[in-house]
Amino acid sequence: MNTESAMPFEYNQVHFEELKKQQRKKVFLKGLLFLLPSLLLFSIFIFYPMIRTVYLSFFLTNQAGITTVFVGMQNYIDIFTSPIFMKSLTSTFLFVLFTVPGTIIVSLFLAVIANEKIKGIGFFRMIFSSTMGVSVAAASVFWLFLFHPSIGFFNKILVTFGFDKIGWLTNPEWALASVSLSTIWMNIGFTFLIILGGLQSIDSHLYESANIDGAGFFYKLRRITIPMLSPTLFFVVTVSIINSFQTFGQIDMLTKGGPSNETNLIVYSIYREAFVNYQYGTASAQAVILFIIILIMTVIQFKLGERKVHYQ
Amino acid sequence: MIKKFFALLMASLLVILAGCGSNQTSSTEKGSTSEKDDKQVVTFWHSMSGVPQETLNSIVEEYNNSQDKVQVNAEFQGTYEESLPKFHSVGGTKDAPTMIQVQEIGSMSMINSGNIEAIQKFIDAENYDMSGLEENIVNYYKVDDKFYSMPFNSSTPVMYYNKDAFKKAGLDPEKAPETFEEVEEAGKKIVKSNDQMKGFALQAYGWLFEELLANQGGLLLNNDNGRTDTPTAVEFDNEKGKSIFEWAKRMTDAGTFANYGTNSDNMLSGFLAGDVAMFLQSSASSRDVIDNAPFEVGVAFLPHPEAEERQGVAIGGASLWMSSGKEEAEQNAAWEFMKYLQTPAVQAKWHVGTGYFAINPAAYDEQVVKDAYKEMPQLQVSVQQLQATKPSFATQGALMDMIPAERKIIETALETVYNRGDVDEAFNSAVEQVNAAIEQSNAARGK
């Protein structure tokens, strides 16, 4: 009796489970269908090249990039024992350290002053964001003139005030700083625009109440502007760091990695290894290292930085 | 709102698609017209910019107008360093150009690539006479008794100097310093007479190092500069190689050296602005320098250390390579164009228009050249320097596929010395790195 009554119930249960499973499968397939275009594009343009890079990093290659000899981890061992690659890593970290805070502080300053409502502010906003419209190549040529050792603007000023000329791009002590300076200038436009957007979305009531309470400019900046801006700043910091790690154009135009490899940033080093020396294996190994570094940096940022971010 | 957006998106997609479509039709139309005209199209990748590009374009145009069988399309593909990787990635496919200009150090890499047709095949097919060409050029481009590529633009490094500055410093403007030591002395006198001007600039450029080495009879790589067998190690790790570093060091210490790093444009504009009195550069810049300088420019032979005799220079520049896997008609058309480029009249125009020398000595008898020499006798110096060169493995130039890497390493080492680094340390580390690069390059070939 007992078993008889339980049978249909169990049967029902199984049937229901089955249905549910089928339903889930359907939903999953539907979801996959929606994801398909991006998955397809990602696999072709991101995942396949990435896997291929990892694969190449275990080989030596001929000039067409076709693998010839399997060397296992040797490429990795080689680059980590090479003083040139280690220098390239140090330079890259220094470069990030110079450019990211520099860009953000300058852009934040410009955005705060451009956020005032005065007549003709649109003109200033346009000027401050204009570097976004200048390509890296054009900007580099322009900076090349400024940095020129004998007829450059900077050295002319130095000479007028009675100082010695500086080899901006040829002196190892200055080169990285010079490239950083021009990079900060190039990045200001974009960062400024994003931060200004963030500033304008802050509710003005907050400032009004603060004004009634008699808060000063800096107090408002510290207690209202920065916290309310934190999601924007977080975004800008993440993007800038990744961008800095991937800097290539200005290095190629301004210094070609010189003097004495002082500005041989990692992406330039990869380019040189692959397309000048035709060592696609070592280049791939370096690219994998760069990927890991950026991955770690981003994870750390999300773990540490996001806690401090205040989302409205 | 969303509907509107989609409508807009659709409309823009349509426009894009239509654009692509019309592009395609126009290109096929183009193809069919060229077939109608029976013109064989030859794609020619080159790396000439500035004045040489203008000259080259006018030569190509004249060729296209001179006959109705071949249409040469000259395409600028960036510097030598940029166009070579491009060729390597499309080599053997239908996107590869019919012919490409490759600089001399890319020769071995082109031969190893397997995507080229040695032009010896065309020479043999019609018994074409290559003996009319400049002997030193033939020496350089003949590998294992075989021509792989057609020489085209060749230059040698020369020393440019500011004659007005020489006069001011009490030096003889007609007699340029010949040795390293004389260059140093002249530099000191120039700085003394004008403290705003430096004496000498040596661009950190691997090619110049190789040439200064060859001028002393020094070999860059073992196995006779790679001419008898694939090199296994460097051979410049001796006094000859080091003397160049020491020379730069002495001038840096004396304060007569102008450091422009690896940037040749900065060095050139520094020279034109009167910031430096002497510098080394390819003779291909002769026209540019002479035409643009507000003072009188002297051109002289490459200096050498007093202790060593002058041996002469290896040629630099580029040659023209034929792609394999193209239709025979297309290759033959490219071959016709290559032969045209060698004719005395074309070479005369090329020589006078750029400063590259004529690979066909008969060009020097052309009236254009004679007229130009009367006006600019400096143009002759590179020709004389080449003809005074003693043929040897050193002046034949080194042959290996890792030379681009070698150049970068030497450039870094030179820059270290320019910035008051230690000569021995920089030099030894350069030797070590080049050896490692040779080793890796040999290993990568799987031999």
CA B218 vs CA B211, B274, B313: distances in Å: 9, 33, 11
> If phi over 0 gives left and psi between -120 and 50 gives alpha, with beta otherwise, what is residue B261?
left
Distance CA B304, CA B177 (A): 10
Task: Quickly count: other Cβ atoms within 10 Å of residue A106's Cβ.
Answer: 17
Alpha carbons B357 and B285: distance in angstroms, whole number: 11
Asked if A81 has any chain B CB less than 8 Å from its own CB, the reply is: no
- Residue-wise pLDDT for A104-145, tens only, equals 999 999 998 898 888 888 899 999 999 988 999 999 999 998
With an 8 Å Cβ cutoff, is A259 touching chain B?
A: yes
Q: Between chain A and chain B, how many beta carbons pairs sit less than 8 Å apart?
A: 104
Please give, rounded to a whole number of angstroms, the shortest distance from the CA of A195 to a CA of chain B.
Answer: 27
Q: pLDDT by residue (tens digit) across B162-186? A: 999 999 999 999 889 999 999 999 9
Q: What residues in chain B have their Cβ under 8 A from chain A's Cβ atoms?
A: 81, 85, 88-89, 91, 109, 112-113, 204, 258-263, 266, 269-270, 273, 275, 401-402, 404-405, 408, 411-412, 415-416, 418-419, 421, 433, 437, 440, 443-446
| pLDDT-derived band at B71, boundaries 50, 70, 90 | very high
d(C-alpha B172, C-alpha B209), whole Å: 27
> Per-residue b/e over B201-222, b at no fewer than 16 CB within 10 Å?
bbbbbbbbbbbbbbbbbbbbbb
pLDDT above 90 as % of chain B: 40
From CA A235, how far away is CA B374, in angstroms rounded?
A: 67
How far, in Å, CA of B190 to CA of B222, rounded?
Answer: 40
Is A64 at the interface with chain B, CB within 8 A? Answer: yes
Check pLDDT > 90 for residue B15.
no
User: With bands split at pLDDT 50, 70 and 90, how would you rate the model's confidence at B4?
Assistant: low
Side chain identity, residue B192: K
CB of A160 within 8 Å of a chain B CB? The answer is: no
pLDDT surpassing 80 at residue B24: no
Query: What angle separates helix B206-214 from helix B403-418, to the nearest 10 degrees?
Result: 90
Exposed / middle / buried, residue A177 (Cβ in 10 Å: 0-12, 13-18, 19+)? middle
Q: Is the pLDDT of residue A218 over 90?
A: no
Model confidence over B275-320: pLDDT tens digits? 999 999 988 888 888 888 999 999 999 999 998 888 988 888 899 9
Identify the pLDDT of residue B441.
Answer: 86
On the question of pLDDT at B447 being above 60, the answer is: no
Cβ–Cβ gap A169/B261 under 8 Å: yes
- Selected residue of B88, B109, B321 to mutate for chain A interface (largest A Cβ count, 10 A): B88
Q: Which two tokens stand for residue B67?
A: 């006959």
Minimum Cα–Cα distance from A59: chain B residue: B444
Q: Is residue B42 classed as helix, strand or coil in its secondary structure?
A: strand
Lowest mean pLDDT across A95-99, A178-182, A300-304: A300-304
Kind of pairing, strands B316-323 and B116-117? antiparallel
Q: What is the dihedral of CA B70, B72, B73, B79, to 10 degrees?
A: 160
CATH class assigned to A81-308:
mainly alpha
Among A234-238, B7-11, B139-143, the minimum mean pLDDT is found in B7-11
Q: Go through the domains of chain B in sequence order and give each one's CATH number.
A: 39-155+316-372 (3.40.190.10), 157-315+395-444 (3.40.190.10)
Q: Once rounded to an integer, what is the mean pLDDT over residues B381-405?
A: 86
Residue A298 contacts B, CB cutoff 8 Å: no
Give the pLDDT band (50/70/90) at residue B326. Answer: confident
Residues A192-206 pLDDT 10s:
999 999 999 888 888
pLDDT band at B26 (very low <50, low <70, confident <90, very high): very low
Closest in A61, A84, A149 to B260, CB measured: A149
Tokens of A92: 């890259």
